[in-house]
Amino acid sequence: MKKTTIAAVLLSAFAANALAAEITVISFGGASKDVQTEAFYAPFAAASHSKVVAGEYNGEMGRIKVMVDTNSVNWDVVQVESAELIRGCEEGLFEHLDLNRIGKEADFVPGTLSDCGGGLLVWSMALAYNGDKLKQAPTGWSDFWDTKKFPGKRSLRKGAKYTLEAALMADGVPYADVYKVLSTPEGVERAFRKLDQIKPDIQWWEAGAQPMQFLASGDVVMSTAFNGRVFAAQAAGANVHTVWNGSIYAIDSWAIPKGSKNKALAEDFIAFSLRPENQKIHTTKLGYGSTNLHTAGLLDPALAAQLNTAPDNLAQAIPMDSEFWVNNGEDLEQRFNAWVAKTK
């Protein structure tokens, strides 16, 4: 066989293998999945000559654990929250990444790159309010607790996470000391005593869409909310606003389940999705901050200033201590559920 013929056969075989390559990417679904298809999945499939199968889940780590434990991993990339990333990495559920394939740490928001994760987006839990219902704008958690100055129902997530932090900030705990205080029995008691003050005025929310629904209907005048939900409501014309003072931010990451047969291609996908040009589409459509520091320069200045990662907004926020919630979450959630169930 001539050398040229052999080369042609090899090239043909390589092309066939490349075209046959396939990865399954699992995210939280909904509108974000549609945007991820536009920003990441479709362009990566075209650039890599591979196929991206998009799926969704509700963050159930148990599903990943069963796959890993039974050597039946058929997911290649999954979107996880920060606490789940830490726990999953410690328990051996995720592959350790070759960060040289992902990018340079200096190009990203601190905490974006870790042993097992590549940060996809920066989200915040913030105070949101209905501008049609309040004559004066609240400025932080102390106003959220002030039912005389700001009468009306307010909404909090039905869970310990975010709620206990907000209570301590409303009680005057400096932002830098929130988790230090919450790590003590006295701090936990302090947070629940503060929550006692507004318990009759709280309408709890459990799904991410509910805060905007409660605000739109006039059921509540203020609520905690994911900043992307507020962004979407504003884009739809709702007169809702975000108070960044005391907001809590964290990073959602891509991770690769342990045992993925497509680790290299999965790492290529993660690196591709973190490029500024792809992050730009994701950020513009969803309103969640980009983990890539170079994305801001590609955005409309008005949009960039509206994001949780805008320097002025981020300066007023606190990072969620995911390690704290990994170590203390179960006990505090049990304590919270017992407190909610009390009628007095």
Q: What per-residue confidence (pLDDT) applies to 135?
A: 85
Q: In this structure, are 155 and 76 located in the same domain? A: no
Q: What percent of the chain stands above pLDDT 90?
A: 90
The CATH number of the domain holding residue 43 is 3.40.190.10
Q: In this structure, are 24 and 145 located in the same domain? A: no
Query: What is the mean predicted confidence (pLDDT) over 109-133?
Result: 96
Inter-CA distances, 258 with 76, 99, 287, 327, Å = 9, 16, 31, 23
Domain limits at 219?
124-248+319-341
- Beta strands per DSSP E along 194-298: 202-205, 222-226, 240-255
Sorting pLDDT into bands at 50, 70 and 90, what band is 81?
A: very high
234: Cβ contacts below 8 Å, ≥ 6 apart: 240
Q: What per-residue confidence (pLDDT) applies to 29?
A: 84
Q: In this structure, are 101 and 69 located in the same domain? A: yes
Please state the domain count of the chain.
2
Q: In this structure, are 271 and 237 located in the same domain? A: no
Per-residue pLDDT tens digits for 179-231: 999 999 999 999 999 999 999 999 999 988 999 999 999 999 999 999 999 99
Residue 249 bridge partners (DSSP): 124, 319
Q: With the C-alpha atoms ordered 277, 275, 84, 36, is the resulting torsion angle positive or negative?
A: positive
- Structure tokens given for 299: 């955005």
Q: In this structure, are 177 and 304 located in the same domain? A: no
Q: What per-residue confidence (pLDDT) applies to 3?
A: 46
Per-residue pLDDT tens digits for 243-299: 999 999 999 999 999 999 999 999 999 999 999 999 999 999 999 999 999 999 999
